[in-house]
Amino acid sequence: MKLYKRLSFLYPRRFRDSVEQLMIYAHLKIDPLRFIGFTLVFGLAFSLALGFLLNQIFGWNFLISFIVTLIVFEIFMYFLLVLQADAKAKFVESVLPDALQLMASNLRSGLTTDRALLLSSRPEFGLFKDEIDIVGKEIATGKEVSTALSDMTKRIKSKTFDRAIGLIVSGLKSGGELAALLENTASDLRNQILIDKKVRSSVHMYVIFVFIAVGIGAPLLFGLSSFLVEVMKTNLSNIDVPEQVLRSTAISISVTSVTISTKFIMGYILSFLIATSILGGFIVGLIDKGSEKAGAKMIPLLIVLSLGVFFLVRTALVNVVGKFFS
């Protein structure tokens, strides 16, 4: 729709260009401007609905809830593109050694470069098959091999892929044999994949520790502390010490009720748990995959888990232990 395209111009040009490049990386065949406009319209509708619900259920300020929800939604949609682009890059990295080895075998069998590339395009290579087809067709139409390979790095967001193609291109320019370059690069990539797997297996304990601390430990303690604060507030408000008793003591004693409201405590705890889950997801991604963005997919799971544990613990304490203090 033209409306979506017009609304997309409300965003800065740099943001529009960034989204367009991410959609190329993610292999999405959608008009970037329409996508941006649709995201804005849907985000506004979703934020209005959620802001109204939060205002009616929890009494939160509607305007603040609306603005925060809209910002979070837009960031979330942007991160979806980033994750999709990274997923494509990871898949390409996993199949790249086999693809390069197959290309080298085709070249050694006497095929031309463009035919070797086209015949190495297999369905099991998934999205990378389309990239191989594009490069093969470009070479067949007269484009230099090094230029066609370099252009492929503009459509795949991967440092490993960039380095591999860079080595092949530099070897071609220095007069090296393409088949040997492809075989050596494939062997180096396989060794790198094995090293990465060993490193990840050695840090799994840290990932488990962070996941348990954020998803179970913190909400468990907050559920207990929120119940204790509520019990103390109720009990202190029911204490009625006669003034003459207080005057008769040698030490000045004053008994006052807790002025912090339960709504404030719940709002603080929920905000803290959500913020901790977001940071915890980034930490898990950094430890496990070496990139904070890789942990973004863990954030929804951590938020649901931490909030679920918190409300479960709190409900259990109120229904079981709360009877003794009522």
Sequence-distant (6+) residues with CB within 8 A of 37 are 1, 3, 4, 5, 6, 7, 8
- 97, 187, 254, 281, 306 from 216: Cα distances, Å: 40, 43, 38, 14, 6
Q: What is the mean pLDDT of residues 114-118?
A: 78
What predicted TM-score, i.e. pTM, was given to this entire model? Answer: 0.72
Is pLDDT at 256 greater than 60 in this prediction? no
- What is the model's pLDDT at position 36? 92
Task: Give me the pLDDT at residue 253, please.
Answer: 53
Predicted confidence (pLDDT) per residue in 147-165, tens digit: 888 888 889 988 888 888 8
Question: What are the distances in angstroms from CA 322 to CA 13, 34, 67, 314?
Answer: 57, 54, 37, 10
So what's the pLDDT on residue 242?
57
The better pLDDT of the pair 29, 236 is held by 29
**In this structure, what token pair is assigned to residue 321?**
């232990």
Per-residue three-class SS string for 196-215: HHHHHHHCHHHHHHHHHHHH
Question: What whole-number percentage of the chain has pLDDT above 70?
Answer: 89
Q: What is the pLDDT of residue 288?
A: 81
pLDDT category of residue 183 using cuts at 50, 70 and 90? confident
Higher pLDDT, 29 or 235: 29
Average pLDDT of 243-265?
Answer: 60
Contact 73, 92 (CB under 8 A): no
Average pLDDT over residues 36-47: 92
Cα dist from 233 to 58, 211, 259, 325, whole Å = 20, 32, 8, 11
Mean pLDDT of 279-287: 89
> What number is the average pLDDT over the span 284-292?
82
Q: Output the pLDDT for position 241.
A: 53
* CA gap 309, 303 in Å, rounded: 10
pLDDT of amino acid 159 = 86
Here the tokens at position 203 are 């840090």
66-110 pLDDT, tens per residue?
A: 998 999 899 888 988 988 888 888 899 889 899 889 888 888 888
pLDDT at 30 over 70: yes
- Mean pLDDT over 139-150 rounds to 84
**CA nearest to 15, candidates 35, 1, 41, 45:** 35
Region of 175 (left: φ > 0; alpha: ψ -120 to 50; beta: rest) is left
pLDDT of residue 308: 93
Does residue 9 surpass a pLDDT of 90?
Answer: no
Structure tokens at 256: 């006052």
Q: Which helix (H) or strand (E) holds 70?
A: helix 62-108
Q: What is the pLDDT of residue 216?
A: 92
Q: What percent of the chain has pLDDT over 90?
A: 19
Q: What is the mean pLDDT of the chain?
A: 83
pLDDT value at residue 44: 93
Q: What is the mean pLDDT of residues 279-306?
A: 86
What tens digit of pLDDT does each residue of 217-244 get?
999 999 998 888 877 776 666 655 555 5
